[in-house]
Amino acid sequence: MTGRRADRLLARNARREPTIEDQIRLLALKDGRYSPEAFSFLFEALPQAVRLAGKENATGTERHVTGQEVLQGMRAHALQLFGPLAAAVWRSWGVRETLDWGRIVFLLVDNGLLNRQDSDTIQDFEAGFDFDEVFVRQYRVPLPEPSKGGEEA
């Protein structure tokens, strides 16, 4: 089934230059281990990873983020989007552990859709975090700041 969907997507896109989104979706469908949404989410989370690593003003290779920094950006992005459901969402995409994110990253690297440095390895994603611990047990509902208005001096 997955191969047929990839073939249909490829045939439909044969008439035009494929976008990065098309290439990512095709790669995900061809690989079959992870949902295309996981690949898209990874790309959505990269700017947050760069910002959290303090590299938003860097250029070129100085802007590079490590596997652990990518994981932290993805963690923060998932908490913002999905809250305590993040682990369930990731699992629905086929992502069961942080090493799965490393597999997706290196699949993208191997297909020319992401860059890496020589020091980057898939093992950078092994010592990540437990999804249930981070997304469920440690989750705290963000509360608004108390209003200071209304008090007369």
HEC profile for 92-130? HCCCCCHHHHHHHHHHHHHCCCCCCCCCCCHHHHCCCCC
pTM above 0.75, yes or no: yes
- Residue 150 — pLDDT band, cuts 50, 70, 90? low
pLDDT of residue 16: 74
pLDDT at 146: 86
Give the 3-state secondary structure of residue 75.
helix
What percent of the chain is predicted at pLDDT more than 70? 87
pLDDT in tens, 43-55: 999 999 999 999 9
For residue 153, pLDDT over 50 is answered with no
Mention every residue, 6+ apart, whose C-beta is less than 8 A from residue 96: 90
Task: Look at residue 9 and tell me whether its pLDDT is greater than 70.
Answer: no
**Interval 73-94 mean pLDDT:** 96
- The pLDDT, as a whole number, for residue 14 is 60
What does the CA dihedral 105, 129, 81, 122 come to, rounded to 10 degrees?
0
- Three-class secondary structure of residue 144 per DSSP: coil
Q: pLDDT (tens digit, 9 = 90+) per residue, 10-66?
A: 666 566 788 889 999 999 999 999 999 999 999 999 999 999 999 988 888 888 899
**Cβ(104)–Cβ(111) under 8 Å?**
no
pLDDT at 69 over 60: yes
Contact criterion met (CB below 8 Å) for 77 and 90: no
pLDDT at 109 over 90: yes
The answer to whether the beta carbons of residues 72 and 13 sit under 8 Å apart is no
How far the first Cα of the chain sits from its last, in Å, is 69
